[in-house]
């Protein structure tokens, strides 16, 4: 399983909804972040939830965001980071800043 | 089973509708031969055998052994197994290190993913809607309520463990603990320190 993104790559979490079980929290949808670490490939939990095989496996990334981007009214330094684990099919290349 | 949510029977809730439903399901599973009563008891014993003391021992060992600390930070699961913790069948464990520059906080906004092999069962507040929603949005306010205020120049890093990896915080060794052995150090490390809502305190110097 080759990873589409590498550490340092800018990414955007795909906006929008998908019916059923989803492992990408809503507050990250449409947000810009950066690949922090490639965590490996795992059976797709969004299929496992329905008793399917989870194949093909999906690459999971630790993605970094800045709190100031996520919450305009964040009560701390805007550069405070937030990291979340996001599967590849929820990510698209980021525009870069 | 790996993601099983164990429903604690705290005092007063033993007759709750949820507890009644669990008992009814349990009785059916036993009656239909899916599991035996002994297997259920063995599983409860196993779940209860895992506690934050495991995580505290890992931290104390990392504080006293630089090589182990490096291994713990690069592959938490392998280091936990090396240390004798039963984690072979557990998810990957990523250990994040607190430094003067960064303080780490763990949450799972989607459910209550938790490194049970090193921390045991999650506390009820960890699973609450309030903690899950506030920890990502106002982590500094949440920590303040636990009695901890990170210095202004320290970045607060939130880790939302939304998927197949579990997280644990490696706190900083508090000053004034040079004379403590590993056991004494482990006593300073509470569950809350391993989640990151608090930090270990310097023990009050006796006498």
In this structure, which topology does domain B51-195 adopt according to CATH?
Nitrile Hydratase; Chain A (3.90.330)
Task: Please write the tens of the pLDDT for every residue from B61-75.
Answer: 999 999 999 999 999
Lowest mean pLDDT among A71-75, B30-34, B68-72, B85-89: B85-89
Name residue A62's beta-bridge partners.
Answer: A37, A85
Distance, in angstroms, between B90 CA and closest chain A CA?
14
- Given the cut 0.95, state whether the ipTM is greater than it: no
pLDDT of chain A, 97 residues: tens digit per residue = 788 999 999 999 999 777 777 788 999 999 999 999 999 898 888 888 788 888 888 999 999 999 999 999 998 999 999 999 999 999 999 975 4
3-state secondary structure at position A23: coil
- What would the two tokens of residue B191 be? 């569950």
> Could you tell me the residue ranges of all domains in chain B?
17-47, 51-195
- Give the nearest partner residue to A23 out of B138, B158, B162, using CB atoms: B162
C-alpha span between A70 and B136 (Å, rounded): 9
How much of chain B, in percent, has pLDDT values that exceed 90?
Answer: 61
Two tokens at A6? 């590498």
pTM above 0.90, yes or no: no
Min Cα–Cα distance to chain A from B109, Å: 7
Grouping H, G, I as helix, E, B as strand and the rest as coil, residue B34 is coil
């Amino acid at each position: 399983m080759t990873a589409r993104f590498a550490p340092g790559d800018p990414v955007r979490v795909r906006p929008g909804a998908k019916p059923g079980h989803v492992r990408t929290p809503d507050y990250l949808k449409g947000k810009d972040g950066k690949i922090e670490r490639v965590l490996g490939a795992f059976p797709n939990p969004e299929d496992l939830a329905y008793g399917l095989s989870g194949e093909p496996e999906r690459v999971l990334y630790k993605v970094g965001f800045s709190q100031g981007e996520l919450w305009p009214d964040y009560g701390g330094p805007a550069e405070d980071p937030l990291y979340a684990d996001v599967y590849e099919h929820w990510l698209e290349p980021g525009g870069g800043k | 089973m790996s993601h099983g949510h164990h429903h604690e029977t705290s005092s007063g809730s033993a007759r709750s509708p949820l507890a009644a439903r669990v008992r009814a399901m349990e009785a059916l599973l036993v009656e239909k031969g899916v599991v035996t009563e002994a297997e259920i008891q063995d599983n409860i014993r196993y779940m209860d055998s895992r506690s934050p003391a495991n995580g505290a021992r890992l931290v104390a060992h990392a504080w006293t052994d630089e090589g182990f600390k490096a291994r713990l930070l690069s592959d938490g699961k392998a280091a936990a197994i090396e240390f004798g913790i039963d984690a072979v069948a557990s998810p990957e464990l990523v250990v994040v290190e607190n430094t003067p520059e960064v303080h780490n906080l763990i949450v799972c906004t989607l459910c209550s993913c938790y490194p049970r092999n090193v921390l045991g069962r999650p506390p009820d507040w960890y699973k609450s809607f309030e903690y899950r929603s506030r920890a990502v949005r106002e982590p500094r306010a949440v920590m303040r309520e636990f009695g901890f205020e990170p210095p202004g120049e320290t970045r607060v890093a939130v880790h939302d463990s939304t998927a197949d990896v579990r997280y644990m915080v490696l706190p900083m060794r508090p000053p004034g603990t040079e004379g403590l052995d590993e056991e004494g150090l482990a006593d300073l490390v509470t569950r809350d320190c391993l989640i990151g809502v608090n930090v270990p305190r310097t023990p009050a110097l006796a006498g």
